[in-house]
Amino acid sequence: MASEAHVTRQPRGLGFFERFLTVWVLLCIAGGILLGKIAPEIARTLDGMALTVDGAPVVSLPIAICLFFMMYPIMVKIDFAEVLRAGRSIRPVGLTLFVNWGVKPFTMYAISLLFLGFFFLRFIGPEAVDHVKMPLGLDLPVGAAYGSGTVVLRDSIKMLEVPLWRSYLAGCILLGIAPCTAMVLVWGYLARGNDGHTLVMVAINSLTMLVLYGPLGGFLLGVGRLPVPWQALLMSISIYVALPLVAGYLSRRWIVAARGETWFREKFLHLLTPVTIGALLLTLILLFSFKGEVILSNPMTILWIAVPLFLQTVLIFSLAYGLARWLRLSYRDAAPSALIGASNHFEVAIATAVMLFGLSSGAALATVVGVLIEVPVMLMLVRVCLRTRRGFPAALSCAATLAVGFSASASAADAEPPVEPDILWQFDTEG
């Protein structure tokens, strides 16, 4: 039956664009920073086009548009029967929940504390301070001590003066307790993982955040029960996930009904091939243009914060990926399980940092650094997944290819993976 569902195609070489994707990513990052430098008014205008909650930017409209075009090709390819099957798979779901909520918040705290509070402290400055908002509902006199801070008066407003490195630490913690619920669909798709499993975990993580985000964040930050930015959470999920999901589901049904399944897979999906990558590269340009001024004015500060965030991302990915192999999960479940834990829901982290500490706080800056390193680092991990996929059980390899709309040989005796007529194959030049 599998042989009837696949069309054998001759392998083709990688095109110029596919071979040098890493170069295009670096050029987009450089182009974004340059755009922010030479045309800062354009970057500020685009960055200001955002939906806010309590003064905190939650949904950037330019990024939302790019993300829609990244997500739509993924959503339209999802077979919802596969989603139902993925929801009944206990091991990958359990692994993802364990790593996201039982490990990741605590390793983020430990790694950030080690680097910001010890290794990099002399570079940040032991005496450097940050002025953040007073804790919600707290009214202390000027000069009073609260935790590691002191109440001071700035411009006739009471603020809490805290060590700058602790403010950066708070931003890192907020990233660690907010697992990704949107972009991870792109990473799982690029890694040729199980889109159904990824979608199920997006839903479960979103619900879990409503329960654990507040108490876990409050415990690690030492501020009591952290207020859950539920408006920001619901708004970002609705725009970044629900909108392309509904559009993909409805358009798939309409196109299949009007033109047939064969035309949908062989013609329509082929037209979508470059859309996700193109939108991803445009997103890189926008992100780095928005923060180009911050990067150029604080390059070393960005580096001090980026190092623990990078190490945390790689550690969590390695742990989840290794456990997935130990549990003998298929590659299609292992890849998204590892990528979900490695990525962060930076929109919620930024909104919480601004709400708790202020827009100009070190905590808010740390969450912005999380945004800047997210895409390049996750693309690197996607490549790692693709290069190591042969170490996992090969079951469902043909069905996996069909599920995401690729065409491949159905030969079970072929030890090499099918060569995909798709731009996503660019990540594995050895395939």
Per-residue pLDDT of 365-417, as tens digits, reads: 898 898 888 888 998 999 999 999 998 886 444 334 334 443 333 333 343 44
Residue 32 has pLDDT above 50, yes or no: yes
Tokens encoding 303: 């580096």
Continuous segment of H or E residues that includes residue 149: strand 149-154
**195-221 and 230-237 helices cross at what angle (nearest 10)?**
160
Compute the distance between CA of residue 360 and CA of residue 146 in angstroms, rounded to an integer: 20
Helices 164-176 and 362-388 meet at what angle, rounded to 10?
Answer: 40
Q: Say what the pLDDT of residue 86 is.
A: 63
What single letter denotes the amino acid at residue 298? N
Hey, where are the domains in the chain?
A: 6-425
CB-CB contact of 209 with 237 (8 Å): no
Assigned token pair, 212: 């654990």
Strand ranges, E, within 193-327: none
What's the Cα-to-Cα distance from 419 to each of 9, 52, 426, rounded to whole Å? 8, 44, 11
Nearest of 358, 400, 113, 347 to residue 240 by alpha carbon: 347
Q: Which residue has the higher pLDDT, 233 or 425?
A: 233
Name, in order, each residue with C-beta under 8 angstroms of 38's C-beta and a sequence gap of 6 or more: none
What pLDDT is recorded for position 19?
58
Read off the pLDDT of each residue in 199-225 and give the average, rounded to a whole number. 78
Query: Residue 409: CB partners within 8 Å, gap ≥ 6?
Result: 6, 8, 9, 418
**6-425 CATH fold:** Na+/H+ antiporter like fold (1.20.1530)
> How many Å apart are CA 152 and CA 209, to the nearest integer?
34
